[in-house]
């Protein structure tokens, strides 16, 4: 079992446990995630240790946030999920699109560096702000200064006043491998950028989006001019940085992807693909008869780098068939098969009321799992 969470109902680990209980055959539980919410939880369920520290939330309040830690393989590794420290769910009093900060995510990275991390995996889903990762790099020792040499306040709007970036006190990360694990391919700027596409989801009005776009553009331009991080700059009324700012994924998490690329020299990897490797899926699947994956909703979004399709692709390389369980599905049989999934079983097949599906997801999943076993593992059941 390699499912993602059923958002609002069950964690990935709970989904895997319920399916295992209903199957009635020996099974390996490997809850997964694609870099968004639940990534740390999935890593901990697969054997990583959980480290909890107090950090700064998106609007300055102190919050307890966790990351996953493993040292057993010779490369001390931290899995850090931006949503833990800087996510929408950490907002205490509603959206703060102009002032929310990623500072807490930088504090988690700093803590992992103090522990001796040599590989840091960043999951960048669910951010509360659009600050281009400015808060994150400030927590790692950068100073973002205005024309008078004063430090800028938090948030994306303040970046319009950025004049200089001082990295003299920045953390030593030259021997640390950073990987951004996610499925977002937006650039930092423009109509498909962080402010335009994701700002409204965080409460930004059209005027706020223009303000945030100007701030992100200024960040990219100053980084280019003062540190040569990004390549050429086009000078006009709204300076645009080429290179890193235009890279797929630079717009992830309100532009935190940009900061990870530019200041941490991170590598961008498809979230589910990288995390399956990290969790050892390839070794576990070799002796499997069947892989069961899933998520809350199997829909068009699932086809764009989400966990079930990533699991199906990885299982196909091992020649193992895949079926999926879900809360609901809108994909056709043809779409599923094209994605490498032989069949899908939805809670709504058993219970048409969505509210009851959410409330009784666990027991319903066990019933679905029994159906999966009967239809795909019948010979194994008979030979027990």
Question: Mind listing the pLDDT tens digit for each residue in 152-167?
Answer: 999 999 999 999 999 9
Do residues 249 and 195 make contact, with C-beta atoms less than 8 angstroms apart? no
Count of alpha carbons within 13 angstroms of residue 168, beta-carbon side:
3
Looking at the structure, tell me whether residues 55 and 148 fall in a common domain. Answer: yes
**pLDDT one-digit tens code per residue, 330-339:** 999 999 999 9
Structural domain ending residue among the three candidates 219, 247, 271? 271
Looking at the structure, tell me whether residues 265 and 296 fall in a common domain. Answer: no
Looking at the structure, tell me whether residues 376 and 309 fall in a common domain. Answer: yes
Do residues 211 and 238 make contact, with C-beta atoms less than 8 angstroms apart? no
Helices 206-227 & 252-264 angle (0-180, nearest 10): 0
CATH number at residue 89: 3.90.1510.10
Q: Which of the four pLDDT bands, split at 50, 70 and 90, describes residue 237?
A: very low
**pLDDT one-digit tens code per residue, 255-264:** 999 999 999 9
**pLDDT one-digit tens code per residue, 337-382:** 999 999 999 999 999 999 999 999 999 999 999 999 999 998 765 5
Q: Is residue 277 part of a domain?
A: no
Q: Is residue 183 part of a domain?
A: yes
Looking at the structure, tell me whether residues 82 and 202 fall in a common domain. Answer: yes
Looking at the structure, tell me whether residues 137 and 173 fall in a common domain. Answer: yes
Alpha helices in 93-176 (DSSP H): 103-114, 134-139
CA atoms of 11 and 250, how far apart (whole Å): 28
Looking at the structure, tell me whether residues 51 and 102 fall in a common domain. Answer: yes
How many other CB atoms sit within 10 Å of the CB of residue 119? 17
Say which DSSP state 161 is in.
Answer: G
Do residues 264 and 178 make contact, with C-beta atoms less than 8 angstroms apart? yes
Res 227: pLDDT: 62
Res 233: pLDDT: 34
Higher pLDDT, 232 or 250: 250
CA atoms of 107 and 63, how far apart (whole Å): 11
Rg (the chain; Cα; Å): 22
pLDDT of 35 over the 80 cut: yes
Strands 240-241 and 267-270, bridge-based pairing: unpaired
Looking at the structure, tell me whether residues 112 and 195 fall in a common domain. Answer: yes
CATH number at residue 325: 3.40.50.10350
Angle at CA of residue 105, ends 64 and 279, nearest 5°:
90
Q: Is residue 366 part of a domain?
A: yes
CA atoms of 84 and 105, how far apart (whole Å): 8
Count of alpha carbons within 13 angstroms of residue 22, beta-carbon side:
23
Do residues 223 and 258 make contact, with C-beta atoms less than 8 angstroms apart? no
Secondary-structure percent of the chain, ordered helix, strand, coil, rounded to 5 = 40, 20, 40
Q: State whether the Cα torsion 210-215-219-225 is positive or negative.
A: positive
Res 383: pLDDT: 52
Q: What is the pTM of this model?
A: 0.89
Tokens coding 299 = 């829909």
Structural domain including 74 reads 39-271
Nearest to 254 by CA among 125, 121, 358: 125
Looking at the structure, tell me whether residues 45 and 180 fall in a common domain. Answer: yes
Nearest to 42 by CA among 254, 258, 310: 310
pLDDT of 73 over the 80 cut: no
User: String of b and e for 248-286 (b: at least 16 CB within 10 Å)?
Assistant: ebbbbbbbbbbbbbbbbebebbbbbbbbbebbebeebbe
Do residues 164 and 226 make contact, with C-beta atoms less than 8 angstroms apart? yes
Q: Is residue 185 part of a domain?
A: yes
Looking at the structure, tell me whether residues 109 and 242 fall in a common domain. Answer: yes
Length of the chain counted residue by residue: 384
Q: Is residue 5 part of a domain?
A: no
Q: Which of the four pLDDT bands, split at 50, 70 and 90, describes residue 234?
A: very low
Res 168: pLDDT: 92
Looking at the structure, tell me whether residues 151 and 260 fall in a common domain. Answer: yes
Nearest to 79 by CA among 47, 126, 127: 47
Place of tokens 């200089």: 164
Looking at the structure, tell me whether residues 201 and 134 fall in a common domain. Answer: yes
Domain total of the chain: 2
CA atoms of 317 and 291, how far apart (whole Å): 12
Q: Is residue 105 part of a domain?
A: yes
**pLDDT one-digit tens code per residue, 170-206:** 999 999 999 999 878 899 999 999 999 999 999 999 9
pLDDT of 329 over the 80 cut: yes
Higher pLDDT, 228 or 71: 71
Res 239: pLDDT: 38
Q: Is residue 181 part of a domain?
A: yes
pLDDT of 238 over the 50 cut: no
Looking at the structure, tell me whether residues 304 and 250 fall in a common domain. Answer: no
Structural domain ending residue among the three candidates 271, 304, 333? 271
Q: State whether the Cα torsion 334-338-342-347 is positive or negative.
A: negative
**pLDDT one-digit tens code per residue, 273-302:** 999 999 999 999 998 999 999 999 999 988
Structural domain ending residue among the three candidates 241, 271, 301? 271
Q: Is residue 150 part of a domain?
A: yes
Higher pLDDT, 70 or 224: 70
Mean pLDDT of 20-40: 92
Tokens coding 295 = 């998520």
Alpha helices in the chain (DSSP H): 12-23, 39-45, 82-86, 103-114, 134-139, 206-227, 252-264, 271-279, 281-285, 307-317, 333-338, 347-350, 354-359, 361-376, 378-382
């Amino acid at each position: 079992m390699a499912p993602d969470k059923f958002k609002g109902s069950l964690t990935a680990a709970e989904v895997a446990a319920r399916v295992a209980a209903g199957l009635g055959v020996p099974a390996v539980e490997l809850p997964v995630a694609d870099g968004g919410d639940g990534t740390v939880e999935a890593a901990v369920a697969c054997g990583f240790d959980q480290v909890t520290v107090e950090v700064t939330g998106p609007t300055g309040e102190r919050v307890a946030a966790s990351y996953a830690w493993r040292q057993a393989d010779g490369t001390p590794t931290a899995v850090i999920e931006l949503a833990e420290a800087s996510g929408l769910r950490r907002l205490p009093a509603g959206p703060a699109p102009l002032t929310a900060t990623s500072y807490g995510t930088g504090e988690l990275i700093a803590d992992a560096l103090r522990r001796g991390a040599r590989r840091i995996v960043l999951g960048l889903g669910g951010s509360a702000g659009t600050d281009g990762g400015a808060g994150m790099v400030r927590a790692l020792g950068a100073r973002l200064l205005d024309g008078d040499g004063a430090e800028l306040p938090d948030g994306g709007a303040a970046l319009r006043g950025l004049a200089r970036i001082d990295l003299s006190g920045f953390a030593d990360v030259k021997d640390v491998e950073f990987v951004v694990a996610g499925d977002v391919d937006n650039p930092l700027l423009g109509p498909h950028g962080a402010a335009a596409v994701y700002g409204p989801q965080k409460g930004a009005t059209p005027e706020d989006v223009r303000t945030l776009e100007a701030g992100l553009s200024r960040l990219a331009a100053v980084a280019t001019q003062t540190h040569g991080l990004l390549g050429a700059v086009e000078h006009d009324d709204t300076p645009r940085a080429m290179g890193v700012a235009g890279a797929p994924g630079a717009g992830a998490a309100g532009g935190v992807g940009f900061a990870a690329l530019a200041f941490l020299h991170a590598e961008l990897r498809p979230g589910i693909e990288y995390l399956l490797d990290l969790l050892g899926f390839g070794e576990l699947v070799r002796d499997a008869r069947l892989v069961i994956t899933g998520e809350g909703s199997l829909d068009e979004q699932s086809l764009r780098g989400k966990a079930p399709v990533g699991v199906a692709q990885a299982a196909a390389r091992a020649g193992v068939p895949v079926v999926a369980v879900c809360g609901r599905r809108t994909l056709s049989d043809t779409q599923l098969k094209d994605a490498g999934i032989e069949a899908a079983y939805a809670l709504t097949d058993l219970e048409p009321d969505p509210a009851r599906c959410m409330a009784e997801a666990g027991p319903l999943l066990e019933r679905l799992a029994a159906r999966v076993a009967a239809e795909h593992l019948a010979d194994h059941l008979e030979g027990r």
